[in-house]
Amino acid sequence: MPATEHPIGEPAAHHDGRISRKSLLHGVAALGAAPLLLGGGVALARDRTAAGAAPELTPDCHDGDEPTVEQTEGPYFKPGSPLRTSLVTSSTPGVRLTVSGYVFGLACLPVSGVLLDFWQADDNGAYDNGGYRFRGHQFSDARGAFSLTTVVPGLYPGRTRHLHVKLQAPGGRVVTTQLYFPNEPRNSTDTIFDARLLMNVRQAGPAREGTYDFVLDVRQTPTTPPSTPPPTTAPPAGTWAAGTSYRVGDTVTYGGSSYRCLQSHTAYPGWEPPKVPALWQLS
């Protein structure tokens, strides 16, 4: 949805006058343990600019919002990325970029345990197809939040600046999309560019900070948060089973093949070994 600006000090409102759950969640996250005082002048905008300026907001999530736009995978995706939230070291060249946000379902409730697999070009516009530089996956936390530390990607012929990401909610299908930077000259000539996937980006000293919130096609009841199956003890070997807690090195069989666990996790329907190569390696 198009972003709506609200005066600092006022909560973002739902289109029918109610305050959206997403805005409330942003406010709680920003205020920490501070009380939520509706109508008491508490600013719920997650992104702020200079004092006195209007905040920059990612699109408000209202009940019934459409899921995040999907886009092409492109030629450079590589399965099996490492589990990490930072793609850089102290010596990595490029302008530092932090991308953060939330993952919501169709009722604007956060979705935890979402697999987010990011990949991008380096600051020279090159992809590492032999290794895993500027590639990594992570999982949204209990609040549906994620955060990635990387660099601003460089340009290569035919494309504007962008980040790639695949998302998969527990039991859901894989969603592939891209994130874009505002005010890029090539946005107007890139045939893949979609303004609905623009991040909010601001300068933070020598670095840049971007925010974007994803909405997945996850059915939710507003009064009932999504639940996760209780974990069970994983056997050292056996047939893959949803609801089982697996550890690094555990082996399972699925579909007549053997797989080795790469990352500790609790299995969900939809995360069968062939579908999540970041978690399982074919033995």
Chain segment 248-263, per-residue pLDDT in tens: 888 898 888 888 888 7
Does residue 59 or residue 190 have the better pLDDT? 190
Share of the chain above pLDDT 70, in %: 72
For residue 60, what pLDDT is reported? 54
Q: Percent of the chain scored above 90 by pLDDT? A: 52
Query: What CA–CA distance (Å, rounded) separates 101 from 99?
Result: 7
**pTM, two decimal places:** 0.64
Contact between 57 and 200 (Cβ < 8 Å) = yes
pLDDT for res 262: 83
DSSP code for 198? B
Question: Token digits for 2?
Answer: 């198009």
The string of pLDDT tens digits covering residues 142-199 is 999 999 999 999 999 999 999 999 999 998 999 999 999 999 999 999 999 999 999 9
DSSP secondary structure letter of residue 257: E
What pLDDT, on the 0 to 100 scale, is given for residue 65?
65
Higher pLDDT, 232 or 207: 207
pLDDT of 223: 57
Is 24 a residue whose pLDDT tops 70? Answer: no
pLDDT at 50: 37
* Dist CA 169 CA 10 (whole Å): 32
Structure confidence at residue 62 (pLDDT): 61
Would you state the torsion angle of the CA atoms of residues 165, 265, 218, 101, taken in this order, to the nearest 10 degrees? -50
